[in-house]
Amino acid sequence: MGYKLLVVGDERMAFSKKFRLKRKDVRNIFIGSRRFSSAVGTFFLKKNGFLFSRFGFAVPVAVSRKSNIRNKIKRMALERVRINLSDIVAGFDILIIFKKEVVNMTKREFYKQLQESFIKAGIFKGLVY
Protein backbone atom coordinates (compact mmCIF):
# COMPACT_ATOMS: atom_id res chain seq x y z
CA MET A 1 0.00 0.00 0.00
CA GLY A 2 2.68 2.48 -1.02
CA TYR A 3 2.34 5.70 -2.91
CA LYS A 4 2.84 5.80 -6.65
CA LEU A 5 4.78 8.71 -8.02
CA LEU A 6 3.55 10.52 -11.09
CA VAL A 7 6.20 10.56 -13.79
CA VAL A 8 6.26 13.22 -16.49
CA GLY A 9 9.08 12.50 -18.91
CA ASP A 10 12.18 11.95 -16.79
CA GLU A 11 11.02 14.30 -14.05
CA ARG A 12 9.49 12.82 -10.91
CA MET A 13 6.65 14.71 -9.32
CA ALA A 14 7.98 14.20 -5.77
CA PHE A 15 10.38 16.31 -3.75
CA SER A 16 13.63 14.35 -3.55
CA LYS A 17 15.22 13.79 -0.14
CA LYS A 18 18.47 15.37 -1.32
CA PHE A 19 16.67 18.74 -1.28
CA ARG A 20 15.59 18.37 2.36
CA LEU A 21 17.59 19.48 5.39
CA LYS A 22 18.57 16.77 7.85
CA ARG A 23 18.17 17.27 11.60
CA LYS A 24 21.90 17.96 12.16
CA ASP A 25 21.89 20.52 9.34
CA VAL A 26 18.92 22.30 10.90
CA ARG A 27 20.85 22.64 14.16
CA ASN A 28 23.90 24.02 12.31
CA ILE A 29 21.96 26.53 10.22
CA PHE A 30 21.41 28.83 13.21
CA ILE A 31 25.16 29.45 13.46
CA GLY A 32 26.57 31.82 10.85
CA SER A 33 23.41 32.11 8.79
CA ARG A 34 21.72 35.16 7.32
CA ARG A 35 18.36 35.82 8.97
CA PHE A 36 15.46 37.39 7.15
CA SER A 37 11.89 38.01 8.30
CA SER A 38 8.80 38.24 6.09
CA ALA A 39 5.01 38.01 6.27
CA VAL A 40 5.07 34.20 6.27
CA GLY A 41 7.92 33.63 8.70
CA THR A 42 11.60 33.82 9.44
CA PHE A 43 14.08 32.60 6.84
CA PHE A 44 17.55 31.32 7.71
CA LEU A 45 19.94 31.18 4.74
CA LYS A 46 23.39 29.60 4.82
CA LYS A 47 25.73 28.57 2.01
CA ASN A 48 26.07 24.79 1.82
CA GLY A 49 28.73 24.20 -0.87
CA PHE A 50 26.49 21.92 -2.95
CA LEU A 51 25.22 22.46 -6.47
CA PHE A 52 21.64 22.53 -5.17
CA SER A 53 19.71 24.17 -2.36
CA ARG A 54 18.20 22.27 0.56
CA PHE A 55 15.07 23.25 2.45
CA GLY A 56 13.61 22.79 5.90
CA PHE A 57 10.23 23.92 7.16
CA ALA A 58 9.19 24.37 10.79
CA VAL A 59 5.72 25.20 12.03
CA PRO A 60 5.73 25.74 15.82
CA VAL A 61 2.88 24.48 17.98
CA ALA A 62 2.21 28.15 18.78
CA VAL A 63 1.01 28.56 15.18
CA SER A 64 -1.63 25.86 15.61
CA ARG A 65 -2.06 23.13 18.17
CA LYS A 66 -3.60 20.92 15.47
CA SER A 67 -0.97 18.81 13.72
CA ASN A 68 -3.05 18.51 10.54
CA ILE A 69 -2.94 22.31 10.10
CA ARG A 70 0.81 22.43 10.77
CA ASN A 71 1.37 19.60 8.26
CA LYS A 72 -0.85 21.34 5.69
CA ILE A 73 1.30 24.49 5.93
CA LYS A 74 4.47 22.43 5.42
CA ARG A 75 2.96 20.57 2.46
CA MET A 76 1.88 23.82 0.78
CA ALA A 77 5.36 25.31 1.23
CA LEU A 78 7.01 22.13 -0.02
CA GLU A 79 4.80 22.10 -3.12
CA ARG A 80 5.60 25.73 -3.93
CA VAL A 81 9.33 25.04 -3.58
CA ARG A 82 9.07 21.89 -5.72
CA ILE A 83 7.34 23.80 -8.51
CA ASN A 84 9.85 26.68 -8.41
CA LEU A 85 12.97 24.59 -7.76
CA SER A 86 14.54 25.42 -11.12
CA ASP A 87 14.18 29.17 -10.38
CA ILE A 88 15.80 29.01 -6.93
CA VAL A 89 19.50 29.86 -6.58
CA ALA A 90 21.65 26.80 -5.85
CA GLY A 91 24.08 26.39 -2.98
CA PHE A 92 21.99 27.39 0.05
CA ASP A 93 20.47 25.71 3.06
CA ILE A 94 17.14 27.42 3.68
CA LEU A 95 15.09 27.00 6.83
CA ILE A 96 11.69 28.66 7.14
CA ILE A 97 9.99 28.99 10.53
CA PHE A 98 6.40 30.00 9.89
CA LYS A 99 4.42 32.66 11.80
CA LYS A 100 0.90 32.47 13.28
CA GLU A 101 -0.51 34.69 10.53
CA VAL A 102 -0.06 31.90 7.99
CA VAL A 103 -3.02 29.98 9.41
CA ASN A 104 -5.45 32.75 8.42
CA MET A 105 -4.13 33.10 4.85
CA THR A 106 -5.82 31.56 1.86
CA LYS A 107 -3.74 29.29 -0.36
CA ARG A 108 -3.40 32.00 -2.97
CA GLU A 109 -2.26 34.59 -0.39
CA PHE A 110 0.17 32.09 1.14
CA TYR A 111 1.74 31.25 -2.23
CA LYS A 112 1.99 34.92 -3.17
CA GLN A 113 3.59 35.90 0.15
CA LEU A 114 6.00 32.96 -0.01
CA GLN A 115 7.07 33.86 -3.54
CA GLU A 116 7.55 37.53 -2.57
CA SER A 117 9.63 36.38 0.40
CA PHE A 118 11.87 34.30 -1.88
CA ILE A 119 12.36 37.31 -4.14
CA LYS A 120 13.07 39.62 -1.20
CA ALA A 121 15.57 37.11 0.24
CA GLY A 122 17.37 37.05 -3.10
CA ILE A 123 17.10 33.31 -3.67
CA PHE A 124 15.19 33.52 -6.96
CA LYS A 125 17.42 33.51 -10.06
CA GLY A 126 17.53 36.86 -11.81
CA LEU A 127 15.10 38.50 -9.41
CA VAL A 128 16.35 40.93 -6.78
CA TYR A 129 14.07 42.92 -4.49
CA 14, 120, 98 angle in degrees (round to 5)?
Answer: 60
**Contact (Cβ atoms closer than 8 angstroms) between residue 114 and residue 124:** no
Q: pLDDT digits over 4-27, tens only?
A: 444 444 455 567 788 888 888 888
The CATH topology of domain 16-121 is Ribosomal Protein S5; domain 2 (3.30.230)
pLDDT at 72 over 50: yes
> Tell me, what's the pLDDT at 16?
77
| Closest C-alpha among 23, 20, 47, 21 to residue 33 | 47
pLDDT tens per residue across span 32-56 = 889 989 999 999 999 988 898 999 9
Listed by start position, the domains of the chain span 16-121
Is-contact 56 67, C-beta < 8 A? no
Per residue in 59-70, pLDDT tens? Answer: 999 999 999 999
Contact between residue 33 and residue 45 where contact means Cβ atoms under 8 Å apart: yes
